[in-house]
Chain A
């Protein structure tokens, strides 16, 4: 067999119109073009790969041909659109927004980073929201959920629930002091979360769930969650984290003496004179909680007590305001950043909550930040979650002794009224 004959044999086309010669030349071309390190070992794999692609005839799309649909195209273009809208000039109202790029440097020391570009987009998104609606926004943090996360921004609540019935709902001086907005990604729409109720906080403490990432999702739980949707649950978790993890170096906040009698309130000190040094801040007793603590009933302030009627309900002890974080259990982890050999008087000090993993506070000089990045539930430090026991079955109804025997009501019979057409017209 001459060389030409052998070549002819290899070139013989099978039923599909392809030949071994063609296949081998494709495989060898791929190997020579891509030069994989272990071409010998990979030969079969490459050959198999080429078999899969060989029969797709690559012809350039003719005019009028439908473009190949790329499923990601639509999602990507939509994202590009929202990002470019972040750069648009807009009508501005008075508002404040955080210096997120500087804050992000502190987050990074605490191990939290969304990436620099994403942080900048988030900064633009918060700024736009603050200036459009005249809000004083603060970046609260990020809550991880099963399908996409929530970014959370915080401002004073301009629509607190009415405190008409102080016994059930606290007005602005409580967990509803702030309002919160969430968005799914920097540039996405901000959704305002509903106000939180004391019952929601009480139930949220008894349940433990992953968030789904959909604010309208139902929250199936025992005990039933008041409000019922994930938006309410997110809000209740935010209320707890805000109350327990917003901490700052001592001296930034003080008790508000001007608040109404019986109402506890904390306000920011107008002019601060001396700031805690880096060494002071390494001690947990120099960090204070600066939000109102929420008690077991889900409230920050006790309901007013009518002393003549129920003297017992005043039993709940007042929770201390501006308590040092050194008293918390589990405690906080505090360290200088940079620490160790890199430590300097200008180092920032970072405090991380061990109870709410992902909640951190950082302070340096005359600044401090609080941020959260986590799944939105507290750590039980290795002990398994115990769902609350099912309530006991209610007792059968039994007549009290003094009561007389049951008397059945006489049937109430209502005679049917026949309406005639004429009646209707009169009416």
Chain B
């Protein structure tokens, strides 16, 4: 759990939550042989969901969740089932439509959507190696000040959707760091990401306005970066009125 990065989001875990979650994350990391990082919090009406994600070398990840009442035990995220977005109650066993469709399935769906739209990596953090695999860049040094203030330096940290990015890994020759992931600058509508420099000019925050509460932070010129989500799990369908 990187507290230095979390601070930049204005959100935090309470001491009680962190104390429990540290144990729970270490337990899962050892049991499953993964590296885990804290992903975010989804507010519910009676309790919050705390979510962790495996930080594997590839872009596909595994999600684990728990509630703020039981931060000491993470369970693997249930299968995602598509549903209308609605506020969460905070109890994963709340039945939605039929006994086979509970809030945990809806939670998985929301987390998947949020992660798809707002899990961000700065240019160069991932690279395509000689065997055409997307791998983390071990010698990554972070964005320069100038690059950090340019929206074009940020990419969706997931399997690409655009055909140009998909084709990048199959073409011959070296693949540049900006070629094989979907750039967030292409996301619609324009202005869906709000980029701002911290007052001390040492870090940037990038907030998604479609998923209020999704925030990416990066300490300029360091390899320190992260995406977090602290919100109610509802997309902002009113964005068109709000920009």
Enumerate chain A interface residues (CB-CB to B < 8 A): 34, 36-38, 41-46, 48-49, 70-72, 75-76, 79, 108-115, 118, 142, 144, 146-149, 184-188, 207-210, 213, 330, 333, 337-340, 342, 354, 357, 373, 375, 379-382, 384-385, 387
Contact = CB atoms under 8 A, between A and B. Distances in A.
A interface majority secondary structure = loop
A79 B199 contact: yes
Contacts of B6: 113
Interface stretch (B96-104, B182-190, B235-243): B235-243
Interface in B12-27: 12-16
Interface string B204-243: 0001010010000000100000000011101001100111
Given A36-B139, A188-B199, A357-B43, A208 B10 contact: no
Contact of B10 (A148, A149, A185): A149
B197 interface: yes
Residue among B139, B195, B200 with the most chain A CB within 10 A?
A: B200
Nearest to A80: B200
A28 B212 CA distance: 47
Contacts of A110: 14
15 contacts: A41-B129, A44-B129, A45-B130, A71-B145, A76-B201, A76-B202, A109-B15, A111-B11, A142-B10, A146-B191, A147-B194, A147-B196, A148-B199, A149-B10, A337-B16
Contacts of A79: 199-201
B14 A45 contact: no
Contacts of A149: 10
A420 B131 CA distance: 95
Contacts of A186: 199
Contacts of A147: 194-196
Interface of B: 6-8, 10-16, 41, 43, 45-46, 48, 69-70, 84-87, 127, 129-131, 135, 137-139, 145-146, 174, 191, 194-197, 199-202, 207, 209, 212, 220, 230-232, 234, 237-238, 241-243
A109 B11 CA distance: 11
B234 A209 contact: no
A114 B10 contact: yes
A144 B206 CA distance: 12
A113 B200 contact: no
Contact of A385 (B43, B131, B199, B238): B238
B124 to A, nearest CB: 10
B129 A42 contact: yes
Contacts of B243: 209-210
A70 B145 contact: yes
A387 B129 contact: no
Nearest to B69: A340
A108 B16 CA distance: 10
Nearest to A331: B45
A114 B7 contact: yes
Given A75-B197, A354-B45, A382 B10 contact: no
A112 B131 contact: no
Contacts of A354: 45, 87
A396 to B, nearest CB: 32
A76 B238 contact: no
